[in-house]
Amino acid sequence: MGILEEISTLLQQGRAPKVKSLVAQAIEEGIEPQKILEEGLLSGMSVVGEKFKNDQVFVPEVLIAARAMNAGTQVLKPYLIEEGVEEKGTVVLGTVKGDLHDIGKNLVKMMMEGKGLKVIDLGVDVPAETYLQAARENNARIIACSALLTTTMGEMKNVVDMAKASGLDVKVMIGGAPVTQDFADSIGADCYTPDAASAAEAALAFCS
Ligand code: B1M
């Protein structure tokens, strides 16, 4: 079994310390950090997601896998972000109200910081008004919303509507597994991106 496949398997088993050390080993072996993220960590997490959907694993197993995912991304973090880049703008980021998923959001944060953007991380379960208040207080150019549940995506419309009504010069970016370009268009969001790396690119473009 190759090292990336091994990382994926160990992540599915929730073996955080082992995932951490294998990610470090993969870096030492010269494997691209982005490849380790996609073909090791994210690939393992997607198997867990499928099993979760089919009732083959349950919340505790998913949480343990999520912990292993976080252990791996912490090792990757310094390699995914460019050092010494000057600050290019401020982004207010969070997972929308009612939604506690934060792994994707944390990846978005990591990638945005890697592009030299300052990220105010509001965490999870963030009401629309909190995004707006934080954007105002921090003079942010962007509000970035993540949602993983079809039941919480609707909160993004509240953020867009409040941002428009506020008169602030702020763009609203959205993303997360159930979110699509069509949905973004339907609620009038300024930008949808399918993954963390393209979210960071788009945010930088808005700030430039
Ligand atoms: Co939940 N969960 N979960 N869960 N969970 C999903 C999302 C689900 C698809 C599983 C399934 O059924 N297959 C399903 C949603 C179904 C739906 O809405 N249609 C689901 C459900 C139902 C639930 C609960 C309701 C389960 C229950 O309690 N019965 C519950 C809800 C809790 C709540 O939020 N109120 C719940 C709970 C949990 C855990 C707490 C156990 C755990 C979260 C732990 C944590 O986040 N700290 C969890 C997990 C881990 C998952 C799965 C397995 C993995 C999600 C993940 O982290 N993926 C997930 C299944 C799946 O997605 N396949 C599932 C890895 C992550 C990197 O991907 O977040 O999509 P993702 O981010 C991607 C892109 O989407 C994008 O960038 C990343 C890639 O680069 N992206 C953005 C994300 N945000 C972005 C923002 C952007 C741009 C791109 O711009 C701003």
> 17 and 104 share a domain?
no
Domain count, the chain: 2
Residue where a domain terminates, one of 83, 107, 141: 83
Res 47: pLDDT: 93
CB of 193 within 6 A of ligand 1: the answer is yes
CB of 139 within 6 A of ligand 1: the answer is no
Report which protein residue has its CA nearest ligand 1's atom 54.
49
> 98 and 179 share a domain?
yes
Residue 194 has which token pair? 């399918």
In the three-class reduction of DSSP (H, G, I as helix; E, B as strand; rest coil), residue 90 is classed as strand
> 71 and 149 share a domain?
no
> 113 and 200 share a domain?
yes
Degrees to nearest 5, angle at CA 65 with 120 and 195: 45
Report which protein residue has its CA nearest ligand 1's atom 28.
59
CB of 39 within 6 A of ligand 1: the answer is no
Digit-by-digit pLDDT tens for the chain (208 residues) are: 899 999 999 999 999 999 999 999 999 999 999 999 999 999 999 999 899 989 999 989 999 999 999 999 999 988 887 666 667 899 999 999 999 999 999 989 988 987 889 999 999 999 999 999 999 999 999 999 999 999 999 999 999 999 999 999 999 999 999 999 999 999 999 999 999 989 999 999 999 8
> 98 and 124 share a domain?
yes
How many Å apart are CA 207 and CA 77, to the nearest integer? 23
- Domain around 61: 3-83
Residue where a domain terminates, one of 83, 100, 124: 83
**Residues with Cβ < 8 Å from 192, sequence gap 6 or more?**
173, 174, 175, 179, 180, 181, 183, 184
> 35 and 127 share a domain?
no
> 168 and 193 share a domain?
yes
Res 84: pLDDT: 61
Looking up tokens 């602030």 gives 168
Supply the pTM of this predicted model: 0.91
How many Å apart are CA 154 and CA 26, to the nearest integer? 40
Res 114: pLDDT: 79
Res 85: pLDDT: 60
CB of 12 within 6 A of ligand 1: the answer is no
Looking up tokens 């419309």 gives 157
Looking up tokens 């090292």 gives 3
Cα 27 to middle of ligand 1, angstroms: 27
Cα 86 to middle of ligand 1, angstroms: 32
Backbone angles phi, psi at 186, to 5 degrees: -65, -25
Cα 28 to middle of ligand 1, angstroms: 30
Cα 141 to middle of ligand 1, angstroms: 26
CATH number of the domain at 151, please. 3.40.50.280
DSSP state of 120: E
Res 83: pLDDT: 60
> 113 and 47 share a domain?
no
What is the strand order of the sheet 89-95 is part of? Answer: 117-121, 89-95, 142-146, 171-175, 191-192
How many Å apart are CA 93 and CA 112, to the nearest integer? 10
CATH number of the domain at 40, please. 1.10.1240.10
Q: Helix 59-80 and helix 3-12: axis angle, to 10°?
A: 140
- Cβ atoms < 10 Å from Cβ of 59: 8
